Homo-oligomer: A and B are copies of this chain.
Amino acid sequence: MRENGIRKIWDDGGAVVNGWLAIANSFSAEVMANAPFDSVTVDMQHGMVDFQAGVAMLQAISTRDVTPLARVPWNDPAAIMKILDAGAYGIVCPMINNREECERFVGACRYAPAGYRSFGPARGLIYGGPDYAQAANDTIITLAMIETSESLDNLDEIMTVPGLDAIYIGPSDLAISLGHLPQPDPTEPVVVEAIGTILKAAQRNGVRAGIHCANGAMVKRMTDQGFQFCTISNDVRLMAAAANAEISTARGN
């Protein structure tokens, strides 16, 4: 089976720089995959993307040597299994609150006996290779989002679920759940502290820690702190920021 580039980076002690796609389009997906990201994630939760577009986007990503991932809209086995069948090499699952939810998530990504994923990896087989059935459980990556106050009480229970590879922090939801407004780059002490707590728990439990970042500078800070999977904003915010900056220059502002 085709190697998962993320596992290789992690085995080498490195940190993954991840792109994020909210535009339901395979051309913009290929353009993003052509930038020097290590992995690119199709965001089917807050992105304006559903399955049919997601398939074409995964195809576009896999024209490049970059690992294709997907964030599912919810901890729902149907959504998880479908996008894995479409060739995603890892799943980011939102709002994992406790061990039971994490087991349900991870189980949906693994064939029996490790889990309860149903077999039929249509495009996954083409992308992954003919030994997909044998190797998928060890290749596909699972990332559980830690972003609610309930999850903060259950960090170890969540992180010790067998088959969980990484956790992924959503700073905006984490901030809201702690009583603050969402912040792309958190400065509220209680949120910053929670991020540190989660990172330590991940390191303690031997899972990788990931976080959504507002920009490249935040990625740098987070990887320096020990995060190993950091996303840079997303396609549409990068575009909007660049457009606004260029328009200002154009107008001489």
- A contact residues vs B (CB 8 Å cutoff): 17, 19, 22-28, 30-32, 34-37, 45-53, 55-56, 59-60, 62-63, 73-74, 76-79, 81-82, 85-86, 94-95, 111-113, 116, 118-123, 126-127, 133-134, 147-149, 170, 172-173, 176-177, 179, 181-182, 213, 215-217, 219-220, 223, 230, 232-233, 235-236, 238-252
Contact = CB atoms under 8 A, between A and B. Distances in A.
Contacts of A82: 45-46, 50, 73
B118 A94 contact: yes
A27 B85 CA distance: 12
Number of copies: 6
Contacts of A31: 126, 236, 239-240
A122 B247 contact: no
A30 B59 contact: yes
Contacts of A181: 133-134
